[in-house]
A = this chain, B = another copy of it.
Amino acid sequence: MKISELSECSGVSIASIKFYQREELLPEPERTSPNQAQYDTQHVDRLRLIRALVDVGGLSVATVRTVLAAAESDIPMDWAMGVAQRAIPGSVELPATTTRGVSEIDTITETLGWKVSPDNPGRGMAARVIDSYVQLDHEEILSVLPEYSRAAMIVAAADLASVGLQPSRMRMSETVVVGTVLGDSLFAGLRRMAQEDEARRRYAQVQS
């Protein structure tokens, strides 16, 4: 497959393909001469994955590079999840000092008996959100934490179950990456629909 055909059947412009090569998002094609190269379905798949992570997941090109590198490395399964998570944006460090958010998060994880390493990227993410809420004087956030956590457990269990279905380690890594990134968007979409339904139940004047 020549670059023009790759472009054709992936829907990505030749210029962009070259850009992704420069940025090392695409594996090297097989060279048949100094100015000719052969591409295959692997490249088509990779381009699709890139576009999904960028368009649907909202990742930057730089982040996609990191994430793909993590997905390719051959690490033990119980690490892969963490590596993928850490490569993904929003993975901010914890605030330097122990803030309100950190202590609220730690309280709830302890209550639920979660074993979470102190540098789990989600911990910083969630703590930062809570700190923002508190700063904004919206402390009602604290009242939803238990329900959010319960829902997170359900989602996480489903995530891990779907990873367990995969036949190979490489496939599992890809599932982790795709699932982590796109899963956020998927859940956000479902949440919006559920909100509409719930709002209807609570506030409907005209209930059919």
User: A residues engaging B (CB < 8 A)?
Assistant: 45, 48-49, 52, 55-56, 58, 77-78, 81-82, 85, 90, 105, 109, 114-117, 120-130, 132-133, 135-138, 140-141, 143-144, 147-162, 164-166, 174-175, 178-180, 182-200, 202-205, 208
Count of this chain's copies in the oligomeric assembly:
2
Q: Find out whether the CB atom of A85 lies under 8 angstroms from the CB atom of B195.
A: yes
CA distance A161 to B178 in the complex (A): 32
A-B residue pairs in contact (CB < 8 Å), sample of 23? A81-B199, A90-B188, A114-B194, A122-B189, A122-B192, A122-B196, A123-B189, A123-B193, A125-B186, A125-B189, A128-B185, A141-B162, A141-B179, A144-B161, A144-B162, A148-B155, A150-B154, A159-B191, A159-B198, A160-B202, A164-B202, A180-B195, A187-B187
Q: Find out whether the CB atom of A148 lies under 8 angstroms from the CB atom of B190.
A: yes
Of all chain B residues, the one with the shortest Cβ separation from A121 is B192
Q: Find out whether the CB atom of A152 lies under 8 angstroms from the CB atom of B116.
A: no
CA distance A144 to B141 in the complex (A): 27
Task: Give chain B residues whose Cβ lies under 8 Å from the Cβ of A196.
Answer: 81-82, 85, 114-117, 120, 122
Q: Out of B78, B114, B164, B190, which one reaches A126, CB within 8 Å?
A: B190
Task: Give chain B residues whose Cβ lies under 8 Å from the Cβ of A49.
Answer: 136
Q: Find out whether the CB atom of B114 lies under 8 angstroms from the CB atom of A193.
A: yes
Q: Find out whether the CB atom of A152 lies under 8 angstroms from the CB atom of B81.
A: no
CA distance A190 to B202 in the complex (A): 27
CA distance A195 to B140 in the complex (A): 25
Of all chain B residues, the one with the shortest Cβ separation from A184 is B188
Using A78-B204, A189-B126 as known contacts, say yes or no to A194 and B156 having CB atoms under 8 A apart: yes
CA distance A56 to B131 in the complex (A): 10
Which of A49, A55, A77, A78 has the most B CB atoms < 10 Å from its CB?
A78
Tell me how far the C-beta of A2 lies from the nearest C-beta in chain B, rounded to whole angstroms. 22
Q: Find out whether the CB atom of A193 lies under 8 angstroms from the CB atom of B126.
A: yes
Q: Find out whether the CB atom of A143 lies under 8 angstroms from the CB atom of B162.
A: yes
